[in-house]
């Protein structure tokens, strides 16, 4: 006689399905690292997760409240009311008992230790917008994870087009592209680019990603906009608003984060005034990530308890300057200067006059995270001369403070 479920031990291909677990009980037996990896997706699916295990990892314990934890051994009655079960202990005998009790109750059960004895398999999963990718291989988890990774990469870089899974409604999305290395854009930024009809890109936005845009996407390169009666910013505002009013989905793509000296909020206001829906995808700002990639932390325990990010595009003492440079000079923490190459000599003098030591270490990171990246190490007193000597041109970030010496010792007469 064939026992129910015996077929699953043969080599039939699995039948894929998407379980809608919201509000349904799912039993997880075991609370170790395997369970810890599986539980978040169950919670995300809205399942009523019940964990049975004498011990659980601290992060599973931290989820009590979202899930129910019974701190004891498994009993077959734990399956009562469950729609799905996962046997994830490190004891094969316990997993076998769970699988057998589940089989009797016709509840599908995953065994973490033995796929050939499982009535269900967990696929390798990836998510892209509203799209879920699930890959099953025949008991070869490395193969399924590898294929999943390839698909996810294709979806992100546009090799596989999946606009269907993304929000493509008309409007404007302000997207921060990070400091320049395309590896440093967020997943949300990738999704936004894949959803765009129009991309309005700045000079400092990661250019390589623009090459990946499908042919139907209109690319407006802000660096190439003709200069005329209007300022460039007015032209940009008009462009994004008008395209959105034509029913297009417009991505305003910039370097770093749109709200850090990016004029992003001016664009938000322009959209709001025109009644155009506008959303924001924050980016990794160059003010922190460029020093980090160059090996310099902006804070360090016992060294700097604050960092100040300042735009140097207006020189100290200029009537339109909004910076209290004497206050900055009195502070002890790290100063990160953006757009400051031209005014750096005057800024250095102002900081020294305000009390900062001429020997304060300074790092100038040029073209951070890009193939041409280089770092010039100097001091406040020598900054002006070294910018000339090393032919520093924008984009560059100037980091002033002892954190530079912590990361790059030996260049300042320090140990
Ligand atoms: N919104 C951006 C900053 C715009 S201001 C952000 O959050 O990063 C432009 C200035 O940023 C440049 O003049 C330079 O000081 C700095 N910058 C941006 N990208 C940089 C990079 N890859 N390397 C060095 N400096 C960079």
Report how far Cα 150 is from the mean position of its chain's Cα atoms. 19
Q: What is the total residue count of the chain?
A: 415
Q: Among the atoms of ligand 1, which is closest to the Cα of residue 337? A: 15
| SS3 at position 345 | helix
Q: Among the atoms of ligand 1, which is closest to the Cα of residue 338? A: 15
Give pLDDT, residue 215: 79
How high is the mean pLDDT of the chain? 92
Active-site residue, 202 included: yes
* Tokens 């090996």 -> residue: 295
Residue 7 above 60 pLDDT?
no
Give the distance (Å) from ligand 1 centre to CA of residue 89: 50
Share of the chain above pLDDT 70, in %: 94
Give the distance (Å) from ligand 1 centre to CA of residue 258: 11
Give pLDDT, residue 10: 58
Residue 292 above 50 pLDDT?
yes
Average pLDDT score over residue span 193-208: 92
Give pLDDT, residue 413: 41
Give the distance (Å) from ligand 1 centre to CA of residue 179: 7
Residue 113 above 80 pLDDT?
yes
Contact 201, 219 (CB under 8 A): yes
Fold of 166-283: Cobalt-precorrin-4 Transmethylase; domain 1 (3.40.1010)
Domain pair 8-122 / 288-412, same fold: no
The residue to mutate among 397, 398, 400, having the most atoms of ligand 1 within 8 angstroms of its beta carbon, is: 397
Average pLDDT score over residue span 367-395: 96
pLDDT band at residue 105 under the 50/70/90 scheme: very high
Give pLDDT, residue 139: 79
Give the distance (Å) from ligand 1 centre to CA of residue 337: 9
Report how far Cα 90 is from the mean position of its chain's Cα atoms. 33
Active-site position among 48, 181, 197, 202: 202
Give the distance (Å) from ligand 1 centre to CA of residue 126: 32
Q: Among the atoms of ligand 1, which is closest to the Cα of residue 340? A: 15
pLDDT band at residue 2 under the 50/70/90 scheme: very low
Give the distance (Å) from ligand 1 centre to CA of residue 254: 10
| Residue nearest atom 15 in ligand 1 by C-alpha distance | 338
Active-site residue, 408 included: no
| Residue nearest atom 6 in ligand 1 by C-alpha distance | 256
Phi then psi for 133, rounded to 5 degrees? -105, 125
Q: Among the atoms of ligand 1, which is closest to the Cα of residue 254? A: 1
- Listed by start position, the domains of the chain span 8-122, 126-157, 166-283, 288-412
Longest dimension (CA), the chain: 94
Residue 391 above 80 pLDDT?
yes
The residue to mutate among 203, 336, 338, having the most atoms of ligand 1 within 8 angstroms of its beta carbon, is: 338
Q: Smallest Cα–Cα separation from 363: which of 340, 331, 330, 332?
A: 340
The residue to mutate among 184, 256, 260, 341, having the most atoms of ligand 1 within 8 angstroms of its beta carbon, is: 256
Give pLDDT, residue 154: 84
Give 214-246 pLDDT, tens digit per residue: 778 999 988 777 766 667 899 999 999 999 999
88-97, 147-156, 338-347: least confident range:
147-156
Give pLDDT, residue 123: 93
What is the spatial distance between Cα 361 and Cα 392, in angstroms, rounded to a whole number?
Answer: 17
- The fourth-level CATH superfamily of domain 288-412 is Tetrapyrrole methylase, C-terminal domain (3.30.950.10)
Give pLDDT, residue 414: 40
Give pLDDT, residue 415: 33
Q: Among the atoms of ligand 1, which is closest to the Cα of residue 289? A: 8
Give pLDDT, residue 127: 87
Give the distance (Å) from ligand 1 centre to CA of residue 335: 15
Neighbours of 401 (CB within 10 A): 28
Residue 307 above 90 pLDDT?
yes
Give pLDDT, residue 6: 54
Phi then psi for 175, rounded to 5 degrees? -120, 125
| Residue nearest atom 2 in ligand 1 by C-alpha distance | 256
Q: Among the atoms of ligand 1, which is closest to the Cα of residue 365? A: 24
Give the distance (Å) from ligand 1 centre to CA of residue 206: 12
Give 46-91 pLDDT, tens digit per residue: 999 999 999 999 999 999 889 999 999 999 999 999 999 999 999 9
Report how far Cα 124 is from the mean position of its chain's Cα atoms. 21
The residue to mutate among 204, 252, 370, 371, having the most atoms of ligand 1 within 8 angstroms of its beta carbon, is: 204
- Residue 138, sorted as left (phi over 0), alpha (psi -120 to 50) or beta, turns out to be beta
pTM: 0.76
- Of 1.10.3720.10, 3.50.50.60, 1.10.287.110, 3.40.50.720, the CATH number of 8-122 is 3.40.50.720
| SS3 at position 397 | strand
Give pLDDT, residue 155: 80
Give pLDDT, residue 224: 77
Give pLDDT, residue 1: 44
Give 127-145 pLDDT, tens digit per residue: 887 789 999 988 788 899 9
Residues with CB under 6 A from ligand 1: 179-180, 204, 255-257, 260-262, 285-287, 290, 338-339, 365, 367-370, 394-397
Give 157-171 pLDDT, tens digit per residue: 767 766 667 788 999
Give pLDDT, residue 326: 96
Contact 311, 256 (CB under 8 A): no
pLDDT band at residue 356 under the 50/70/90 scheme: very high
Give 248-277 pLDDT, tens digit per residue: 999 999 999 999 999 999 999 999 999 999
CA distances from 370 to 291, 392, 393, 395 (A): 13, 15, 14, 11
DSSP code at position 59: H
């Amino acid at each position: 006689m064939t026992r129910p479920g015996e077929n699953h031990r043969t080599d039939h291909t699995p039948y894929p399905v998407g379980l809608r677990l919201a509000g349904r009980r799912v039993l997880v037996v075991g609370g170790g690292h395997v369970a810890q990896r599986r539980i978040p997706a169950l919670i995300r699916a809205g399942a009523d997760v019940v964990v049975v295990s004498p011990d659980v990892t601290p992060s599973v314990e931290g989820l009590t409240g979202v899930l129910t934890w019974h701190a004891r051994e498994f009993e077959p009655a734990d399956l009562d009311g469950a729609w799905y079960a996962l046997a994830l202990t490190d004891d094969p005998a316990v997993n076998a008992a769970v699988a057998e009790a589940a089989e009797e109750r016709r509840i599908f059960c995953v065994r973490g230790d033995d796929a050939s004895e499982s009535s269900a398999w967990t696929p390798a999963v990836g998510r892209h917008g509203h799209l879920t990718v699930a890959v099953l291989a025949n008991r070869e988890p490395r193969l399924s994870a590898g294929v999943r990774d390839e698909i996810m990469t294709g979806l992100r870089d546009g090799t596989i087009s999946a606009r269907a899974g993304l929000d493509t409604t008309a409007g404007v999305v302000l997207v921060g592209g990070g400091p320049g290395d395309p590896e440093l854009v967020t997943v949300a930024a990738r999704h936004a680019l894949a959803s765009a009809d129009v991309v309005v890109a700045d000079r400092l936005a990661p250019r390589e990603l623009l090459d990946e845009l499908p042919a139907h996407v209109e690319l407006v390169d802000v660096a190439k906009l003709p200069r005329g009666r209007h300022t460039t910013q007015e032209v940009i505002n008009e462009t994004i608003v008008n395209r959105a009013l034509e029913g297009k989905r417009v991505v305003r793509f910039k370097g770093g984060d749109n709200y850090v000296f990016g004029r992003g909020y001016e664009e938000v206001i322009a959209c709001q005034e025109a009644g155009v829906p506008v959303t924001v995808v924050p980016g990794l700002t160059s003010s922190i990530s460029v020093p980090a990639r160059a090996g310099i932390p902006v804070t360090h325990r016992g060294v700097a308890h604050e960092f100040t990010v300042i735009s140097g595009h207006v020189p100290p003492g200029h009537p339109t300057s909004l910076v209290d440079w004497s206050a900055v000079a009195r502070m002890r923490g790290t100063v990160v200067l953006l757009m400051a190459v031209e005014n750096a000599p005057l800024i250095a003098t102002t900081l020294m006059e305000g009390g900062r030591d001429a020997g304060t270490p300074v790092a100038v990171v040029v073209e951070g995270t890009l193939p041409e990246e280089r770092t010039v190490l100097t001091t406040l007193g020598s900054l002006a001369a070294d910018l000339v000597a090393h032919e520093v041109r924008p984009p560059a970030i100037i980091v002033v403070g002892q954190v530079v010496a912590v990361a790059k010792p030996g260049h300042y007469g320090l140990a």
